[in-house]
Amino acid sequence: MKLTIEHETRYGFAGEANYSIQYLRVTPREDPCQRILSWNVSSASQLTRWSDGFDNVAHVCVQESRHKEVTVLVKGEVETFDTLGILPANDGLPPLIFLSDTLFTKMTDAIRQFAAPYQEVQNDAGTLAAMHALMAGIGEAVTYQAGFTNVETDANHALAAGKGVCQDHAHLFIAGARTLRVPARYVSGYLLAGTGDLASHAWAECFIDGLGWVSFDPSNQQSATDAYVRLAIAHDFGDASPVRGVREGGGIESMNVRVQVQRSYA
């Protein structure tokens, strides 16, 4: 499937900022489930491209003169392939590095208790079955509700609240999987939805011996298909956020994000 994507992020400041730095991970990865046909990242600020420790394509966006807004515009086309949600194990990243506790995926007593029933599934039916059961359990335990949590919410607080968004679902899945000693990682990206307009999406992948990396999207209760585009992988949202930054001055900040994903028939 061919997908065209347009993603605009606009920061506005009440006053003038002296300088700002934005870290961007808004370029798709090249892997067996997708290839880039065209892609452009543009901004009035200076852009420098690099690769991070997870081999994600990243940019640093620097504005050194005084300014009241920063806009980053991403446009491109990606061809995706349905791999049944499975990616090869040999992507250059050792699975064991994705067993660590992180800020957003701390394995608290509450999360261990939540994950305990899936240990029995793992023992009886195997790891893959346990991960599917975990995904279903998250769908029941944490209702999807936009605006209830924020980008600082961790898995433990989302579980306690019983409400959250895709970021929270992914973090809880990762924490639960790691509790069962299954390597799991965060994926940021895009999803073709019925309307074509949505915010950036997030899901998780876990490592299954004999299969490789298997995707799980608790928000939609499915594995990734050719409707998904992977941008970045990391331990959690902190290292995979599409856009984050720092600045000096400017006062109160507002951020507007517009994402459009459409199928291309050209």
Per-residue pLDDT tens over the stretch 221-263: 999 999 999 999 999 999 999 998 888 888 887 888 999 999 9
* Tokens read off for 156: 């433990």
Helical spans, DSSP H, in 64-154:
109-125, 127-141
- Cβ within 8 Å of residue 126, ≥6 positions away: none
The answer to whether residues 125 and 114 belong to one domain is yes
The parent domain of residue 188 ranges over 86-239
Show the low-confidence residues of the chain (pLDDT under 50).
none
Please give the torsion angle defined by the CA atoms of residues 177, 182, 183 and 187, in that order, rounded to the nearest 10 degrees. -40
The answer to whether residues 64 and 118 belong to one domain is no
The answer to whether residues 161 and 175 belong to one domain is yes
What was the pLDDT predicted at 199?
Answer: 62
* Separation of alpha carbons 111 and 130, rounded Å: 15
Q: What's the CATH code of the domain at 22?
A: 2.60.40.2250
- End-to-end, the C-alpha distance of the chain in Å comes to 11
The answer to whether residues 93 and 178 belong to one domain is yes
Number of structural domains found in the chain: 2
What was the pLDDT predicted at 153?
Answer: 96
The answer to whether residues 177 and 63 belong to one domain is no
What was the pLDDT predicted at 198?
Answer: 63
The answer to whether residues 6 and 124 belong to one domain is no
Angle at 232 between CA 156 and CA 45, to 5 degrees: 110
DSSP element (H, E) containing 198: none
The answer to whether residues 50 and 74 belong to one domain is yes
* Tokens read off for 167: 């970021």
Per-residue pLDDT tens over the stretch 154-187: 999 999 999 999 999 999 999 999 999 999 999 9
Q: What's the CATH code of the domain at 171?
A: 3.10.620.30
The answer to whether residues 28 and 119 belong to one domain is no
* Separation of alpha carbons 212 and 5, rounded Å: 28
* Separation of alpha carbons 87 and 90, rounded Å: 9
The answer to whether residues 186 and 109 belong to one domain is yes
The answer to whether residues 112 and 51 belong to one domain is no
The answer to whether residues 100 and 230 belong to one domain is yes
CA distances from 164 to 27, 42, 58, 138, 143 (A): 26, 32, 27, 11, 6
The answer to whether residues 162 and 231 belong to one domain is yes
